[in-house]
Chains A and B, each alone.
Chain A
Amino acid sequence: MGWKFDNPLYSLADEEENKRNLALWEEEKYGGLWEGNNRLPYPLTYLIGLVILTAFLITMPIWGQRPTVALYAPMVDLMDSPEVQRMKSPEEKMAYLTQRAMEVMEASDDSRLPGLLERHPIGWYDLQLIADQVREIQSAGGPHGLDEYNIVGDQVQLSNYEGNVRPDGVRERKQPWWDRGFTIDVFYVSYFCLAMVLVCKRLPHFSQKPDMSKATT
């Protein structure tokens, strides 16, 4: 089994091995069946490429879509204001606060924020649960901003992600825009494609077709 690397995309097997394979396919019938050596038609090859691309893109909207506490900070700032105090029902208060927070998000440079807020609404009582913790983080002036905190149950917690170390030595805990599952998939699919190229290129090139008229029963 010799490997040939001078034209790897044509065939990785030497000509002698390719001839042996073709001869075997021409002569050997498996209980009345025999096999051709055609390639996957070009349109279907492109379709497979499209499937791989789609597989990643179709779930892309979840990339970086985890809500951080920063989304709710404008609401915390306003929740004790006189106009909110005057409103009677929690629903009324939240409708107002959400609208004001949405204005802040829409004015932001990050175009994902309005959608994030829309998909991750918060209720009045939940807002009360996190409000003091948000204020404490803001007043402490620590190394981490609110966009590095998540809500876990009734607690405001640093995102559970071991990120890069900043130049000042602080470990960045913000959720990245990418996802470990996708990263694993990138490698997994790459390895698969590589393995398939090796497997297929060990066969005779698809332009070399066995002559089935030689086949014996």
Chain B
Amino acid sequence: MMKYLFAKNEDIPAGTASIYFGFSSIWWFVIGTGLGSFNAAKLAFPDFVTGTELFAFGHMRQVHVLAVIVGWISMAFGMTMMYMTPALGKTKLWSEKLGIWTALLWNVGLSLGLILLWMGITSGREYSDLIWPIDLVVIFGVLVPLGINVWMTIAQRRTQGIYITNWFFGACIFMVTITILVGQSAEIFNLTGLTEAYLTFWHAHNLLGLWITPVAAAIAYYVIPKLTGNPLYSHRIGHLHFWAIIAFYSTPASHHLLSAPLPEWLKSFASVEGVLILIPAIAFVANILLTLKGRWSMFVENVEIKFSVTGVLLAIPLNMQGGFQQTRAINWYVHGTGWIVAHAHLALLGMSSFLEAAAVYFGLQSAMRRKLYSLALANFHYWFFIIGFCTYWITMTIAGLIQGAGKIYEVPYIDVVIAEHPYMIGRWVGGTMVFTGNMVWLYNMYMTAREGTVVPKGRYAHELAYER
């Protein structure tokens, strides 16, 4: 892959950047979930790896979070943009070379940022923990080049219309760039107090609302119609989804700060807007599930459909929880408990990661023109992923309810810790299953690249994947 860094753009085979992004994303997923498993072990077994500052939970947590968000999820997004955008415009990627350089800079920048975090060099602000020089690298070295590639590919498309997936891709890169720039301004301009808190959570919320959730949805808009052969159920519902995301997902950031001395009107506004997040969710889930009409058997047979439909189905509890847990009454109970941790994992490890896994499976096979090495290993990956995730989600939700009860009824802290101990072990078991599945996935895709049957011209990889 490195040999193309200095090659002429026209000499680089189509899909090269996509393959680079795809393998990087799986690699970061293995690292991210490995760190998650390690951190969960520290919470389940307090004597696990002690005495070394570098392996303290306070050092390791941010590394896990950012390895998953910036490494796995965002690089999987980069991968999907590299192959879906040109396919949807019936054109080539504007610059494969820029794509390869973007992926390289992304890996280098992220590695540097995570090492600094691990060493304890941090801005100390949750979800925007990287120090501002690294943030500038992320914006101008990664997001802007990615955006230029996507926007230029859309601009030079050979179709008259622009498919929904590309609306989301184009808009979300723009919005996440603004989100990070504004979100980091607290650090750049040395803002403090309530302003800093608000900007931190405006940034954190909009990363999810304007990047992770909508781009994952955009993937479903491509993968499901592509693999089922059905037309997307509705262009007009796509409009409702897209504009509802813009209107309602960008506004409720202050629901993270319902107990802070923000103006009351802002908190009321955010609570209502937060429930309205259900509107884009309903539109999205309806559009995708109705597209599956007559093809539900593929949910059992096809690995990519299995992953993507699971992701779409997980969007239902995700948005139900998200909408209601930020109303003042429910927030009062679950704020600061494991419930929120479970909910965050439902978004990132559940809904979003299942959709990205589907896209990476499909994209790597298509770009490499190779049949999946082992369907059995892919199914193993799926089942370890879903069982591991559900174990994590359910145990953390229960732990959160215990913590909430402990908080409200003023139960001594140590009693709460003892009561939630079995659930912390459950969390570790679930997380470790996901990590194990991901290692198997990395092996499967590596073997696909090395030994997967070459797909003949005129056929698609996904058509052959299930022929034995």
Chain A interface (Cβ < 8 Å from any Cβ of B):
24-25, 28, 30-41, 44, 47-48, 51-52, 54-56, 58-59, 61-62, 179-182, 184-185, 188-189, 192, 195-196, 199-200, 203, 206, 212
Chain A contact residues, majority secondary structure: helix
Q: Are the CB atoms of B273 and A185 closer together than 8 Å?
A: yes
Shortest CB–CB separation between residue A150 and chain B, in angstroms? Answer: 12
Shortest CB–CB separation between residue B274 and chain A, in angstroms? Answer: 8
Q: Are the CB atoms of A189 and B276 closer together than 8 Å?
A: yes
Shortest CB–CB separation between residue B171 and chain A, in angstroms? Answer: 15
Q: Are the CB atoms of A37 and B236 closer together than 8 Å?
A: yes
Q: Is B264 at the interface (CB under 8 A from chain A)? A: yes
Contact with A along B75-119 (1 / 0, CB 8 A): 000000000100111100000000000000000000000000000
Chain B interface (Cβ < 8 Å from any Cβ of A):
84, 87-90, 159-161, 163-164, 222, 225-226, 231-240, 243-244, 247-248, 251, 264-276, 278-279, 282-283, 286, 290, 323-324, 327-329
Q: Are the CB atoms of B272 and A182 closer together than 8 Å?
A: yes
Q: Are the CB atoms of B231 and A34 closer together than 8 Å?
A: yes
Q: Are the CB atoms of B233 and A30 closer together than 8 Å?
A: no
Whether A203 touches B327, Cβ cut-off 8 Å, given contacts A30-B90, A52-B276, A55-B275, is: no
Whether A40 touches B266, Cβ cut-off 8 Å, given contacts A30-B89, A196-B239, A196-B243, is: no
Shortest CB–CB separation between residue B363 and chain A, in angstroms? Answer: 13
B residues in contact with A56, CB < 8 Å: 272
B86 to A, closest residue via Cβ:
A31
Q: Are the CB atoms of A58 and B269 closer together than 8 Å?
A: no
Report how far A25 CA is from B323 CA in the complex, Å: 35
A203 to B, closest residue via Cβ:
B236
Report how far A33 CA is from B270 CA in the complex, Å: 37
A residues in contact with B290, CB < 8 Å: 38, 41
A40 to B, closest residue via Cβ:
B237
Report how far A199 CA is from B239 CA in the complex, Å: 8
11 contacts between A and B (CB under 8 A): A28-B159, A32-B87, A33-B163, A36-B231, A40-B234, A40-B240, A55-B275, A62-B268, A179-B264, A181-B265, A192-B243
Q: Which 8 A-B pairs have the closest CB atoms?
A: A181-B268, A31-B87, A55-B275, A181-B265, A181-B269, A180-B265, A30-B163, A35-B235
Q: Are the CB atoms of A58 and B273 closer together than 8 Å?
A: no
